[in-house]
Amino acid sequence: MRARGFQAVAGVDEVGRGSLFGAVVAAAVVLSPDRPIRGLNDSKQLEADRREILAERIRERAVAWAIAAVDAATIDSINIYQASRLAMRLAVARLAPAPDFLLVDAVAIDLPLPQRALIKGDARCHAIAAASIIAKVYRDACMRAWDVVFPAYGLASHKGYCTAEHCRAIQEFGPTPLHRLSFEPVRARSLFPVNYNSQMELFETAGAA
């Protein structure tokens, strides 16, 4: 794309699409051709410590980067596909300088910019990989913060995804206000009465901490 005359090519990706809890997070990154970063890859293929190191390097060396999140209530309202596209669109809109071409993981974004959607783009394109890394590092940090508020759900370990541990917690305590009620594993367990006494104990424990 640079050889064709584009000056600010942004990679765009989202994380948390399959999670049962919390926001879907997107990032957009314009990498610098003069400050390359070794080791960029799909964030899911990297160890957590390596992601943290790479995220710091991306933030230091990129021409521009931005993050955006769309919360669980909006996901339930417009569906996860549209919420993911919205998060990516918001992340791109926050880039300064603005990009003139987009490389997006798998889906197109509703923006009047030339763009290309790449299947498995986070494994094929450094700019998309960089976006996936900083988005995942940011979202994982959010999950660790929410784990303090809702300690019974194990958010720090599974990051809100559909694990046996997470499903058992939803079954026992009911969904929190940040669970995605439109997702089947949450909706199925929401048919049972919420254990409000247990919820209050969780909040009180978090407040005491």
The pLDDT tens digits of the residues spanning 76-109 come to 999 999 999 999 999 999 999 999 999 999 999 9
Q: What is the pLDDT of residue 48?
A: 95
Q: pLDDT, tens digit, for every residue of 48-61? A: 999 999 999 999 99
**24 and 98 fall within a common domain:** yes
The residue among 105, 126, 145 that closes a domain is 145
CA distances from 156 to 107, 122, 143, 169 (A): 29, 24, 6, 14
**19 and 102 fall within a common domain:** yes
Asked if the model's pLDDT at residue 192 lies above 60, the reply is: no
**156 and 140 fall within a common domain:** no
CA distances from 67 to 13, 78, 94, 150, 166 (A): 10, 20, 8, 24, 26
Instruction: Give the pLDDT band (50/70/90) at residue 202.
Output: very low
Confirm whether 2 is domain-assigned: no
**42 and 67 fall within a common domain:** yes
The residue among 97, 130, 145 that closes a domain is 145
**81 and 176 fall within a common domain:** no
CA distances from 126 to 111, 155, 158, 195 (A): 22, 29, 26, 46
**75 and 107 fall within a common domain:** yes
Say how many domains are in the chain. 2
Q: What is the pLDDT of residue 189?
A: 85
Which residues form the domain of 87? 9-145
What is the pLDDT averaged over residues 114-138?
96
pTM, full prediction: 0.89
Q: What is the pLDDT of residue 191?
A: 60
Instruction: Give the pLDDT band (50/70/90) at residue 42.
Output: confident
Asked if the model's pLDDT at residue 195 lies above 80, the reply is: no
